[in-house]
Amino acid sequence: MTGTDLNALISSRICHDLISPLGAIGNGVELLTMSGQGNSPEIALIAESVENANARIRFFRIAFGAANPDVEISQSEVQNVLRDCFRANRTSIEWTVEGALARADIKLVFLVVQCLENALPWGGQISVSRSGANWKLDAKGEKIKTDAALWRLITDRTVPSDVAASDVHFALVTSAAENANRRVATFFSDTQVTITF
Protein backbone atom coordinates (compact mmCIF):
# COMPACT_ATOMS: atom_id res chain seq x y z
CA MET A 1 0.00 0.00 0.00
CA THR A 2 1.36 3.42 -0.98
CA GLY A 3 1.51 6.55 1.14
CA THR A 4 -1.23 8.07 -1.03
CA ASP A 5 -3.52 5.10 -0.30
CA LEU A 6 -2.86 5.40 3.43
CA ASN A 7 -3.56 9.13 3.37
CA ALA A 8 -6.88 8.48 1.62
CA LEU A 9 -7.82 5.87 4.23
CA ILE A 10 -6.89 8.28 7.03
CA SER A 11 -9.07 10.96 5.43
CA SER A 12 -11.97 8.49 5.12
CA ARG A 13 -11.61 7.53 8.78
CA ILE A 14 -11.48 11.12 10.03
CA CYS A 15 -14.55 12.10 8.02
CA HIS A 16 -16.42 8.98 9.17
CA ASP A 17 -15.64 9.66 12.83
CA LEU A 18 -16.62 13.35 12.64
CA ILE A 19 -20.01 12.74 11.02
CA SER A 20 -21.47 11.05 14.15
CA PRO A 21 -20.83 13.84 16.69
CA LEU A 22 -21.99 16.46 14.19
CA GLY A 23 -25.16 14.46 13.67
CA ALA A 24 -25.67 14.34 17.45
CA ILE A 25 -25.29 18.14 17.69
CA GLY A 26 -27.79 18.55 14.85
CA ASN A 27 -30.24 16.23 16.64
CA GLY A 28 -29.81 18.20 19.86
CA VAL A 29 -30.54 21.48 18.08
CA GLU A 30 -33.64 19.91 16.49
CA LEU A 31 -34.88 18.73 19.91
CA LEU A 32 -34.34 22.21 21.38
CA THR A 33 -36.29 23.74 18.50
CA MET A 34 -39.17 21.25 18.89
CA SER A 35 -39.36 21.97 22.63
CA GLY A 36 -39.63 25.70 22.00
CA GLN A 37 -36.21 26.48 23.49
CA GLY A 38 -34.44 26.69 20.16
CA ASN A 39 -36.00 29.80 18.66
CA SER A 40 -33.02 32.08 19.20
CA PRO A 41 -30.32 33.55 16.93
CA GLU A 42 -27.70 31.54 18.85
CA ILE A 43 -29.41 28.19 18.17
CA ALA A 44 -30.01 29.19 14.53
CA LEU A 45 -26.28 29.94 14.19
CA ILE A 46 -25.36 26.54 15.68
CA ALA A 47 -27.82 24.77 13.36
CA GLU A 48 -26.43 26.55 10.29
CA SER A 49 -22.84 25.82 11.33
CA VAL A 50 -23.61 22.12 11.84
CA GLU A 51 -25.28 21.93 8.40
CA ASN A 52 -22.26 23.58 6.75
CA ALA A 53 -19.80 21.32 8.58
CA ASN A 54 -21.77 18.20 7.63
CA ALA A 55 -21.85 19.27 3.99
CA ARG A 56 -18.10 19.96 3.88
CA ILE A 57 -17.23 16.67 5.58
CA ARG A 58 -19.37 14.71 3.11
CA PHE A 59 -17.61 16.57 0.29
CA PHE A 60 -14.16 15.95 1.82
CA ARG A 61 -14.92 12.26 2.36
CA ILE A 62 -15.36 11.86 -1.40
CA ALA A 63 -12.58 14.27 -2.45
CA PHE A 64 -9.88 13.08 -0.04
CA GLY A 65 -11.07 9.60 0.96
CA ALA A 66 -10.32 6.21 -0.54
CA ALA A 67 -11.85 5.61 -3.98
CA ASN A 68 -11.90 2.11 -5.39
CA PRO A 69 -12.23 2.40 -9.21
CA ASP A 70 -14.86 -0.40 -9.20
CA VAL A 71 -17.17 1.29 -6.66
CA GLU A 72 -20.03 3.49 -7.89
CA ILE A 73 -21.75 6.46 -6.27
CA SER A 74 -25.30 7.51 -7.10
CA GLN A 75 -26.17 10.66 -8.99
CA SER A 76 -28.51 11.75 -6.19
CA GLU A 77 -25.77 11.46 -3.54
CA VAL A 78 -23.37 13.56 -5.61
CA GLN A 79 -26.05 16.18 -6.30
CA ASN A 80 -27.07 16.32 -2.63
CA VAL A 81 -23.48 16.82 -1.46
CA LEU A 82 -22.84 19.55 -4.02
CA ARG A 83 -26.17 21.28 -3.31
CA ASP A 84 -25.48 21.35 0.43
CA CYS A 85 -21.88 22.55 -0.02
CA PHE A 86 -22.69 25.35 -2.43
CA ARG A 87 -25.96 26.51 -0.83
CA ALA A 88 -24.41 29.53 0.90
CA ASN A 89 -21.44 29.94 -1.42
CA ARG A 90 -20.58 32.86 -3.72
CA THR A 91 -19.97 30.25 -6.39
CA SER A 92 -22.85 28.19 -7.79
CA ILE A 93 -22.52 24.74 -9.33
CA GLU A 94 -24.48 23.23 -12.20
CA TRP A 95 -24.45 19.42 -12.48
CA THR A 96 -25.80 17.90 -15.71
CA VAL A 97 -24.36 14.38 -15.44
CA GLU A 98 -26.86 11.55 -15.03
CA GLY A 99 -26.69 7.98 -13.78
CA ALA A 100 -24.49 6.10 -11.33
CA LEU A 101 -20.85 7.15 -11.50
CA ALA A 102 -17.48 5.62 -10.70
CA ARG A 103 -16.35 6.84 -7.27
CA ALA A 104 -12.82 7.35 -8.63
CA ASP A 105 -14.22 9.75 -11.27
CA ILE A 106 -16.22 11.67 -8.66
CA LYS A 107 -13.18 11.94 -6.38
CA LEU A 108 -11.32 13.53 -9.31
CA VAL A 109 -14.27 15.81 -10.11
CA PHE A 110 -14.50 17.00 -6.49
CA LEU A 111 -10.76 17.74 -6.32
CA VAL A 112 -10.97 19.70 -9.58
CA VAL A 113 -14.05 21.57 -8.28
CA GLN A 114 -11.93 22.72 -5.33
CA CYS A 115 -9.23 23.90 -7.74
CA LEU A 116 -11.86 25.81 -9.72
CA GLU A 117 -13.19 27.38 -6.50
CA ASN A 118 -9.68 28.81 -6.00
CA ALA A 119 -9.95 30.41 -9.44
CA LEU A 120 -13.21 32.15 -8.43
CA PRO A 121 -12.43 34.02 -5.18
CA TRP A 122 -15.02 36.68 -6.10
CA GLY A 123 -17.65 34.09 -7.03
CA GLY A 124 -18.94 32.70 -10.29
CA GLN A 125 -20.35 29.49 -11.71
CA ILE A 126 -18.91 26.01 -12.11
CA SER A 127 -20.61 23.63 -14.53
CA VAL A 128 -19.93 19.90 -14.66
CA SER A 129 -20.85 17.88 -17.75
CA ARG A 130 -19.94 14.60 -19.40
CA SER A 131 -20.11 13.50 -23.01
CA GLY A 132 -19.68 9.74 -23.29
CA ALA A 133 -16.69 8.95 -21.09
CA ASN A 134 -15.25 12.49 -21.29
CA TRP A 135 -15.71 14.98 -18.45
CA LYS A 136 -15.67 18.77 -18.73
CA LEU A 137 -15.66 21.28 -15.87
CA ASP A 138 -16.03 24.98 -16.63
CA ALA A 139 -15.52 27.83 -14.17
CA LYS A 140 -16.76 31.26 -15.23
CA GLY A 141 -16.59 34.55 -13.40
CA GLU A 142 -16.10 38.25 -13.94
CA LYS A 143 -12.55 37.79 -12.67
CA ILE A 144 -10.42 34.66 -12.72
CA LYS A 145 -7.47 34.21 -10.39
CA THR A 146 -4.90 31.65 -11.48
CA ASP A 147 -1.61 30.78 -9.83
CA ALA A 148 0.47 29.18 -12.58
CA ALA A 149 2.59 27.16 -10.12
CA LEU A 150 -0.49 25.63 -8.50
CA TRP A 151 -2.21 24.83 -11.79
CA ARG A 152 0.94 23.11 -13.07
CA LEU A 153 0.53 20.63 -10.21
CA ILE A 154 -2.62 19.12 -11.69
CA THR A 155 -0.81 17.98 -14.82
CA ASP A 156 2.68 17.45 -13.34
CA ARG A 157 3.47 14.09 -11.75
CA THR A 158 6.06 15.54 -9.38
CA VAL A 159 4.59 16.81 -6.12
CA PRO A 160 6.64 19.57 -4.47
CA SER A 161 7.14 19.44 -0.72
CA ASP A 162 6.14 23.07 -0.19
CA VAL A 163 2.42 22.88 -1.05
CA ALA A 164 0.30 24.71 1.53
CA ALA A 165 -2.46 22.76 3.28
CA SER A 166 -5.02 25.13 1.76
CA ASP A 167 -3.84 24.09 -1.73
CA VAL A 168 -3.35 20.35 -1.21
CA HIS A 169 -6.20 19.51 -3.62
CA PHE A 170 -4.04 20.74 -6.51
CA ALA A 171 -1.30 18.27 -5.56
CA LEU A 172 -3.78 15.36 -5.30
CA VAL A 173 -5.33 15.72 -8.76
CA THR A 174 -2.61 13.79 -10.62
CA SER A 175 -2.81 10.71 -8.37
CA ALA A 176 -6.63 10.79 -8.49
CA ALA A 177 -6.45 11.02 -12.30
CA GLU A 178 -4.10 8.04 -12.44
CA ASN A 179 -6.40 6.05 -10.16
CA ALA A 180 -9.34 6.84 -12.46
CA ASN A 181 -7.27 6.17 -15.62
CA ARG A 182 -7.75 9.76 -16.75
CA ARG A 183 -5.56 12.41 -18.34
CA VAL A 184 -6.24 15.99 -17.22
CA ALA A 185 -5.99 19.00 -19.55
CA THR A 186 -6.43 22.69 -18.62
CA PHE A 187 -7.54 25.72 -20.65
CA PHE A 188 -7.53 29.34 -19.43
CA SER A 189 -8.97 32.66 -20.55
CA ASP A 190 -9.56 35.98 -18.76
CA THR A 191 -13.01 34.92 -17.55
CA GLN A 192 -13.00 31.12 -17.72
CA VAL A 193 -11.07 28.00 -16.70
CA THR A 194 -11.90 24.68 -18.36
CA ILE A 195 -10.68 21.29 -17.17
CA THR A 196 -11.21 18.15 -19.23
CA PHE A 197 -10.35 14.52 -18.58
**Are 110 and 179 in a shared domain?**
yes
User: What does the pLDDT read at residue 115?
Assistant: 95
**Are 81 and 171 in a shared domain?**
yes
- Rounded to whole angstroms, how far apart are CA atoms 71 and 38? 41
User: Taking 80 as the threshold, does the pLDDT of residue 107 lie above it?
Assistant: yes
User: Taking 90 as the threshold, does the pLDDT of residue 183 lie above it?
Assistant: yes
**Are 75 and 61 in a shared domain?**
no
Q: What are residue 44's phi and psi, to 5 degrees? A: -60, -40
**pTM of the entire structure?**
0.84
**Are 56 and 99 in a shared domain?**
no
* pLDDT tens digits, one per residue of 149-168: 889 888 876 666 678 888 88
Q: How many domains does the chain have?
A: 2
User: What does the pLDDT read at residue 159?
Assistant: 62
* pLDDT tens digits, one per residue of 71-91: 899 999 999 999 988 987 899
Q: What domain range includes position 43? A: 1-66
User: Regarding beta strands 134-140 and 101-102, do their DSSP bridges make them parallel or antiparallel, or are they unpaired?
Assistant: unpaired
**Are 150 and 175 in a shared domain?**
yes
**Are 26 and 91 in a shared domain?**
no
**Are 93 and 52 in a shared domain?**
no
* pLDDT tens digits, one per residue of 108-140: 999 999 999 999 999 999 999 999 999 999 999
- Rounded to whole angstroms, how far apart are CA atoms 154 and 84? 26
Please give the mean pLDDT across all residues of the chain: 85
Closest CA to 107 of 15, 189, 45, 43: 15
Q: Which of 66, 87, 112 is the last residue of a domain?
A: 66
User: What does the pLDDT read at residue 181?
Assistant: 92
Q: Which of 10, 43, 66 is the last residue of a domain?
A: 66
Q: Which of 13, 45, 66 is the last residue of a domain?
A: 66
- CA 49 from chain centre, in angstroms, equals 18
**Are 90 and 168 in a shared domain?**
yes
